Structure 1
Amino acid sequence: MKKCPPMPSPETATPGGDAADTKVCAGPAPEQGIGSRCACYNLRRASRAVTRFYDGMLAPSGLRSTQFSILAATNTSGPMTMGALAERLATERTTLTRNLALLEAKGFILSETGQDRREHRIRITPAGRAALQGAMPHWTAAQEAMRQHLGQDRLEHILKDLAALTAAAQG
């Protein structure tokens, strides 16, 4: 695997070090086979690379990108069922359960039984809000690095295209 050039990031974008300097990438997609034309292959490949980048940028906060996303979703929407949260994040319930257990062990979220005993409502705690707030400068730095690398217009188009792909895949 080759070293990727670091993504540009402003001085304030590197709290705790420049994670972009240490990332490794696989290089361009294969020119032959399904890799050059398969949406799933290319999205998963991009997802892994972007996740590694955000995880590196968020590392000083003690959160991974998956944990950050869960905290952000519960902070924005308020208490919600595990099913609703899984749907919002477009993730499998088993994956969500594993990540929620880690966040609950840290005291960042609470899982409360709903009116139906089988229903569990997930909510962020004050400690979770503090962790999310502490991670925000790192997330902002990652966002800014992406924006600088791609350009604002391209980034907005990519985000719109990803939303359309998600909607298409969910039927």
Structure 2
Amino acid sequence: MPKAPPETSLPQGCTNLKLRQFMRRMNQHYDLEMAQVGLKTTQFSLLSCVDKLGPLRPGDLAAGLKMDASTLTRNLKPLVEAGWVTVTAGDNARSRLVSLTESGRAKRAEARRHWRVAQDGINRLLGVDQVLALHALIDQSMEKLAPASEDGDE
């Protein structure tokens, strides 16, 4: 009796590995542009989020970035040392607020032009339709993978 053909409708390989490989390649693309202004892509993302949402509590910033608190603290440190971000006392002794400084706003504006070059390059390399489909797939997948506390099912 002949062997049944392998099931080709199932994903082959590890999804996590494929995503990590994809993210490394994507980070390289963006980091080449960000390096021209002395930033990493992750730092630009942090500056952008703080600019858009700040001042805000570190926990809220971490949640918005889907990042744990210790990673956020580690990633904020060089931005604080550069004088682009401040972490100050909040409403009470236990709370803190993360804010962008004027020099942080200027650095973000400078970096945004390079981010645009990187984004336009991705749009050109992958095609706008594929980038839009990728964004939609990521958004749908993030929603399905949300921890119970994010979607109200505690």
Instruction: With the length of structure 1 as denominator, give the TM-score of the two structures.
Output: 0.75
The structure with the largest alpha-carbon Rg is 2
Question: 1:57 maps to what in 2?
Answer: 33
Tell me the distance in 1 between the aligned counterparts of 2:146 and 2:60: 14
Q: Aligned-residue CA RMSD in angstroms?
A: 1.5
Following superposition, the deviation at residue 130 of structure 1 comes to: 0.4
Question: 1:151 maps to what in 2?
Answer: 127
Following superposition, the deviation at residue 40 of structure 1 comes to: 2.0
Question: 2:54 maps to what in 1?
Answer: 78
Following superposition, the deviation at residue 100 of structure 1 comes to: 0.6
Pick from 111, 114, 135 the counterpart of residue 111 of structure 2: 135
Question: 1:10 maps to what in 2?
Answer: none
Q: Which runs of 5+ in 1 are unaligned?
A: 1-34
- Spell out the pairing of 1:21-170 with structure 2 (5 A cutoff): 36-170=12-146
Following superposition, the deviation at residue 45 of structure 1 comes to: 1.8
Paired letter, 2:88:
E
Tell me the distance in 1 between the aligned counterparts of 2:82 and 2:69: 20
Q: Which runs of 5+ in 2 are unaligned?
A: 1-10, 148-154
Aligned length, in residue pairs: 137
* Larger RCO: 1 or 2 (CA < 8 Å, sep 6+): 1
Paired letter, 1:161:
L
Identical aligned residues as a percent = 31
